[in-house]
Structure 1
Amino acid sequence: MQGKSIGGPGPSNCNANYFKNLPGCRPQQVQRSGEWFAKNPGVMAAAWDADGVAVYHIPNAEIPADLSSDTPKPWGRFVLAYVPLDRHSCADIAKPQKIVLNIALCGDWAGGAWLKSSAARRTGYTIGCNADISNPAGDCCSKFVTSNTHDVNGYMKHRAYFSIDYIKIFTPADILSAPPLESAAFKRGGVPLQG
């Protein structure tokens, strides 16, 4: 896989701690918003090999035939982000991954960005509350999402949806075993929810 320079270089320190403003080794990337993705449905794909990790967005109208085979080929023009893996990068930190579908509506990212959003200001849930997801009763985003008003229901009905047709993992033939599959629900901090 060969990456191309997109956007500005990201931080080179791969240690991530969002509470200390250490974002990890952010790749060079094309910045897209949720609104952009909503207006441009397609396939999100990632390829990870010895050269690096690439993230792709392929529009629905341009999905290549090799996507449904077990031999995907890189799709250079669809690259959103690329992290080269060499001795000067995060190669020693990149380990086997798990796929997590996080549908938290007010997590670290959404909750922290809430008060800066013009869309949030239009909801009226920016006064008399804080950006504090550790205290949902006082958090502006959490108050909006959990309120039972006509405005929230209408807002969610027209904006809060996603459609996942399928998830497929391509595993190279030379990998003999894969870790066992797991599924679970977790709350903030990675603590499993007890059902």
Structure 2
Amino acid sequence: MRFSVHSVSLWLCAIPFLSLVGAQQYVLHHLFDHTNFFDEFSFFSEPDPTRGVQRYVSAFEANAVDLAGFANDAVFLGVDYTTPGPWRRSVRVTSNTAYDSGLFIADIAHMPTSSCGVWPAFWMFGPQWPYDGEIDIIEGVNTQDKNKVTLHTGPGCSITNEGTVASTTLKETNCNAGDAYLGCTQATASNDNYGDGFNDIGGGVYAIQWTDEHISVWFFPRGRIPDNVESDSPDPSAWGPALARFNGGEECHLPDHFKKQSLVFNIALCGEWAGRVWGDNAECSALAPTCDEWVADNPDAFAEAYWLINSVRIFQAHEA
């Protein structure tokens, strides 16, 4: 890595509420950054539900071995890239606050690379899966170079994607497809929104608008982030078509399917997705017979498997 990771030092930062003018405005509700991130997110250190070969570590252990901390005034979350052997240490953090709607704006400088064995995600989920829903904002595996955005729900939720950019492809409308394990997915077309391409441009901003009518995700590359997105009064109506928009309606009353969502950043390795499709990827399968063997024997392959998060801002709708 080209920077040193500083250990976690915690303090609180007061977040002012903003006075806005207009019919409906978004008001800043939470700001998570290097001043308070580790006060507001908890470390998950239980066995991985997706059966990855990483071992998620506690806050104490993550800090002790430089898997979580601060770098370049941003929040760092990484993977152990020095120790050989199975059950590679990694990080998964979950927000202490859960949400039922809102506008979520994440400025991310670096995400885990498009590397064999790596399964990174920035996502949201409710307490009873899949009935309280899951929103996968950034997710992919192995050498994937374009983001896939997916919703997972219980039965009775089929969506449309009007309002999505033409280059994004709707793969499935039923968000309970595969008993919710597959969900409803939209595959994006640009390689600057995920993995190596994302990192090559210095990252960018993902914005998620979640209302009773739709869940929409935008991506703005570094250097082309509209002032409106970075302002204290962001206005999604000015952003144009979404990278992926999921419309509810008669076939899916969104408030019934998405509740009490917590934010998550994690880095999984192999498991039920990256490991399962290992043999379908010629580049990866040429490295080792299985994903698990590759991860155990090649720690240095994961030096760039880290998140660097500038900030996450959460806004709530406010009737002026």
What TM bracket, shorter-length normalisation? 0.5 to 0.7
Q: Identity rate of aligned residues, in percent?
A: 31
Shift of 1:24: 1.9
Deviations 1:5-49 (A, max 9, x none): 6444343322255xx6852233x4424553433334211221112
Cα pair distance change 1:29/1:117, threshold 3 Å: closer
- Paired position in structure 1 for 2:305: 160
Q: Hey, what's the Cα distance between the residues in 2 that align with 1:162 and 1:97?
A: 21
- Paired position in structure 1 for 2:231: 69
Cα pair distance change 1:76/1:118, threshold 3 Å: farther
Which consecutive unaligned segments of at least 5 residues does structure 1 have? 127-139, 175-195
Q: Hey, what's the Cα distance between the residues in 1 that align with 2:220 and 2:165?
A: 18
Cα pair distance change 1:46/1:88, threshold 3 Å: same
Deviations 1:145-189 (A, max 9, x none): 222x4xx41x323x4233111122122236xxxxxxxxxxxxxxx
Cα pair distance change 1:118/1:43, threshold 3 Å: farther
- The code of the aligned residue for 1:111 comes to G
- Kindly indicate which of the two structures has a greater share of residues assigned to helix: 1
Deviations 1:29-81 (A, max 9, x none): 4245534333342112211123311111111101222333343222225x321
Find out whether 1:36 has 2:197 as its counterpart.
yes
- Paired position in structure 2 for 1:103: 267
Using the size of structure 2 for normalisation, the TM-score is 0.41
- The code of the aligned residue for 1:156 comes to F
3-state SS of paired residue (2:315): coil
3-state SS of paired residue (1:71): coil
Answer whether contact 1:106 1:141 (CA < 8 A) is retained.
yes
Cα pair distance change 1:21/1:86, threshold 3 Å: closer
Deviations 1:113-164 (A, max 9, x none): 22222331342x12xxxxxxxxxxxxx22322222x4xx41x323x423311
CA root-mean-square deviation? 2.8
Using the size of structure 1 for normalisation, the TM-score is 0.63
Cα pair distance change 1:109/1:70, threshold 3 Å: farther
- Paired position in structure 2 for 1:24: 183
Cα pair distance change 1:12/1:81, threshold 3 Å: same
Find out whether 1:50 has 2:221 as its counterpart.
no
Answer whether contact 2:165 2:243 (CA < 8 A) is retained.
no
Which consecutive unaligned segments of at least 5 residues does structure 2 have? 1-161
- The code of the aligned residue for 1:117 comes to N
Q: 1:144 aligns with which of 280, 294, 300?
A: 294
Q: Hey, what's the Cα distance between the residues in 1 that align with 2:234 and 2:250?
A: 26
Answer whether contact 1:12 1:89 (CA < 8 A) is retained.
no
Equivalent residue pairs, number: 150
Q: Hey, what's the Cα distance between the residues in 2 that align with 1:101 and 1:16?
A: 24
Answer whether contact 1:14 1:90 (CA < 8 A) is retained.
no
